[in-house]
Amino acid sequence: MEFLIITGLSGAGKSRTVAALEDIGYYCVDNVPPSLISKFYQLCDSQDNGQISRVAVVTDIRGGTMFNSIFTELELLTKEGMAYKLVFLDADNDTLIRRFKETRRKHPLSEKYMGAVADAVQAERTALQKVRESADYIIDTTQLSPMDLKTVISGMFLGESDEPLIIHCLSFGFKNGLPPEADMLFDVRCLPNPFYIDELKDLTGLDKEVSEYVSRTEAALGFLERVFNLIDYSMPLYLNEGKCQMTIAFGCTGGKHRSVTMAQHLCEHLKAQGKRVSVTHRDILKK
């Protein structure tokens, strides 16, 4: 049985994550007290004929003091041989505050902090730091649209379960900030820039004309060869360190042309090896 425990910061996208997991066949339950997780695991695992084979439960700070038992419960799961993966949803403070203001939802800690959302967000981040450090997967949704998040979730958990490492390829524009979730980051601003070609400027790296323009030079081919070699060499090392996920980012100036092309090439390279891989183009629609 595949068993996911979803947690993280309020407003970081846990509800959308559950919706995405349900769409790919997970049985999901929200707002479960930590002390009930092992009991629910046993209940699902006891079902005959594998009727429930993929399960996700959400537990978070909405449970108040009940959430404090999460580490005791995780230790119990491990002791009893109940295999699970811990997924942590994150986003930066400014994004979380903006989301609460836009939705007009109340933060679970808002009453304790007299309605000060910024204080509530920071207090929750501090309280969950150790949980974040224990996570098998960390998904930063700061720059992800709902559709992007769904794509990431599908890429991570729709693949074959016997492939242990999940790889996410990401393109971005340096002018919009660095992606904090990146394990490896490649600056591709050294490659030919389609922005200065009139017929290519308004296209993206997903268009054949741009991809061919960026990739055809000796410099680009040599760059890709070295990136492929480095990633192929690094994947087993990440696994040896117990890593379950790896985010590889490519950055160009605006995040529309060169970085998109390189991220797509790496994704295709990894797919050809049968790896569990997804790709997101963070800034492709930005001006």
Q: Please tell me the predicted confidence (pLDDT) of residue 275.
A: 87
Domain of 148?
A: 2-157
> Looking at the domain assignment, is residue 20 inside a domain?
yes
Q: Please tell me the predicted confidence (pLDDT) of residue 162.
A: 59
> Looking at the domain assignment, is residue 231 inside a domain?
yes
Residues 6+ apart with CB under 8 A from 80: 38
Among 157, 190, 219, the domain boundary falls at: 157
Q: Please tell me the predicted confidence (pLDDT) of residue 50.
A: 57
User: Which residues in the chain land under pLDDT 50?
Assistant: 160
> Looking at the domain assignment, is residue 286 inside a domain?
no
> Looking at the domain assignment, is residue 102 inside a domain?
yes
Q: Please tell me the predicted confidence (pLDDT) of residue 265.
A: 97
Q: Please tell me the predicted confidence (pLDDT) of residue 99.
A: 93
* 85 and 185 co-located in one domain: no
Specify the pTM: 0.70
* 97 and 139 co-located in one domain: yes
Closest CA to 183 of 149, 231, 225, 220: 231
Rg (CA), the chain: 21
Q: Please tell me the predicted confidence (pLDDT) of residue 48.
A: 60
Q: Please tell me the predicted confidence (pLDDT) of residue 55.
A: 95
> Looking at the domain assignment, is residue 247 inside a domain?
yes
* 15 and 141 co-located in one domain: yes
* 100 and 213 co-located in one domain: no
> Looking at the domain assignment, is residue 287 inside a domain?
no
* 129 and 189 co-located in one domain: no
Tokens standing for residue 96: 């979380």
* 136 and 198 co-located in one domain: no
Cα–Cα distance between 175 and 123 in angstroms, integer? 30
Among 117, 136, 157, the domain boundary falls at: 157
Segment 171-223, tens digit of pLDDT? 999 999 999 889 999 999 999 999 999 999 999 999 999 999 999 999 999 99
CATH number of the domain residue 95 falls in: 3.40.50.300
> Looking at the domain assignment, is residue 229 inside a domain?
yes
Q: Please tell me the predicted confidence (pLDDT) of residue 65.
A: 87
